[in-house]
Amino acid sequence: MRAPPQTETSQGIEVNKAELIAHIAQHADIPKAVATRALEATLDAIQTTLKADGTVSLSGFGTFYVNDRAERIGRNPGTGLALKIAKAKVPKFRPGKALKDALN
């Protein structure tokens, strides 16, 4: 399996959305327009589920979920003044065993 085209950055290799779509189109033997719609639909389904405080589990790959981050006190690095940081919902990803094993 050939890797998608990629860009090398100071932090490693980076694959952007267009490169991912090209990879999907090539390996699924479908037009890029269809691959684009498939990727957009997948991302939309993940986002919609997370907005409803759900989880998305992709067997072998991992699980996307929402975590609640509590309100906390932070500091302005420029002035040193304390400021309140509001609570927030943040998306998280927990890799599955197969993904972990593929990297090691």
Q: Yes or no: say if 84 and 71 are a contact pair by the CB < 8 Å rule.
A: yes
Give the span between the Cα atoms of 4 and 27, in whole angstroms. 10
Helix (H, G, I), strand (E, B) or coil at 88: strand
| Residue 20: closest CA among 7, 98, 47, 97 | 7
- Of 3.40.50.1980, 3.40.50.720, 3.10.20.30, 4.10.520.10, the CATH number of 54-104 is 4.10.520.10
Where do the structural domains in the chain lie, given as residue ranges?
1-52, 54-104
Give the span between the Cα atoms of 103 and 60, in whole angstroms. 13
Give 13-39 pLDDT, tens digit per residue: 889 999 999 999 999 999 999 999 999
Give 36-81 pLDDT, tens digit per residue: 999 999 999 999 999 999 999 999 999 999 999 999 999 999 999 9
Q: Which residues pair with 83 in a beta bridge?
A: 74
